[in-house]
Amino acid sequence: MRFIFLMLCLACSASLLQAAELRVAIPSQDTTGRAHPGIMTFNLDLAQELCRRIRYSCVTVNMPFKQILPAVAQGDIQLGFGNYLKTPEREAQVSFSDSIWQASSRLVGKPKAYRRFATPAGTEFSLATLRGATVVAVEGSRQLAYLERIAAAQKLTVKGVLSQADGVAMLRKGEADFGLFVTLIVYAYLTEQGSEKLAFVGPPMHEQGLGGSVHIALPKGNEALRRAVNQAMAAMRSDGSYHRIVRRSFPFSLD
């Protein structure tokens, strides 16, 4: 009887230890999984501080953007830092934290691509005016979904890639005219360039699901974890820790 009791205690202890460890997903920045300054550093720093405050041991996993939500939905990942905008489809799969920053989308391309597809004088260049171009976006993203909806009407050729780094590489090789990316995430690639310079083209976009508040994805049903994350984020904003983390990666505010 004592042996059974001890075994039950050990099992309970193992269960508690397992529950106290979280798997945290950070998007791979290219097909090799190579880290890149900017958003990846920010996500890592934010995840580490959150885990410290909610008193969990966290294991970080790098994976392609499109794999993170399914992994969270299945319970394989407990915190998904995929820079997610809320949509009804996503909310059916996972829960979301309170907002961690505000996002927009921008077209990115070489100056010669802009000149090639420039609109008549007096008309602002934008995605809405773009016709006949090849545009790349990340698989599983709101940007790719929107491009696919407008492709036929605007005669666009749309290509999907695993990461924004892969999309940027395609632009530099001339395999696409423009990329449609989350502004903040692609920012780092525009600040570290060689001779083949890329630039933002057209205005920031917020409508049609291309901008809004960004959230951490969590498994459905774990309300205690969601509350703990939200409380930790609120405390980080209140004591200045969040803004210090932002400044380590970006020279501007994310609010």
Q: Please tell me the predicted confidence (pLDDT) of residue 14.
A: 36
For 108-126, letters b (16+ CB in 10 Å) and e give bbbeebbeebeeeeeeeee
Instruction: Verify that 131 and 196 share a domain, yes or no.
Output: yes
> 8 lies in a domain?
no
Distance CA 112, CA 243 (A): 37
Judgement on whether residues 67 and 30 belong to the same structural domain of the protein: yes
Residue 174 DSSP symbol: T
Percent of the chain surpassing pLDDT 70: 86
113 and 189 part of one domain: yes
pLDDT of residue 15: 35
Residue 74 burial by Cβ neighbours in a 10 Å radius (0-12, 13-18, 19+): exposed
Considering the domain architecture, whether residues 136 and 72 belong to the same structural domain is answered as no
Structure tokens at 107: 């077209």
Q: Are 217 and 196 found together in one domain?
A: no
Is residue 98 located within the same domain as residue 41?
A: yes
What band does 20 get if pLDDT is binned at 50, 70 and 90? low
Same domain, 127 and 196: yes
What pLDDT sits at residue 229?
A: 97
Q: How far apart are CA 164 and CA 170, in angstroms?
A: 10
For the chain, give the mean pLDDT: 87
Is residue 254 in a domain? no
Residues 6+ apart with CB under 8 A from 48: 58
Establish if 3 belongs to a structural domain.
no
CA distances from 221 to 92, 199, 231 (A): 12, 42, 17
Question: Would residue 135 count as lying in a domain?
Answer: yes
What CATH number corresponds to the domain at position 90?
3.40.190.10
Question: Residues with Cβ < 8 Å from 177, sequence gap 6 or more?
Answer: 109, 113, 116, 117, 133, 134, 135, 171
Q: Provide the residue range defining the domain that includes 193.
A: 105-205
Sign of CA dihedral 230, 104, 44, 28: positive
* Amino acid of residue 244: R
Question: What distance in Å separates the CA atoms of residue 146 and residue 209, rounded to the nearest whole number?
Answer: 8
pLDDT in tens, 174-193: 999 999 999 888 887 887 66
- pLDDT digits 0-9 by tens, 25-81: 998 765 444 445 578 889 999 999 999 999 999 999 999 888 999 999 999 999 999
The tally of domains found in the chain comes to 2
Q: Which pLDDT does position 3 carry in this prediction?
A: 42
Question: What pLDDT score was predicted for residue 207?
Answer: 92
Distance CA 11, CA 165 (A): 44
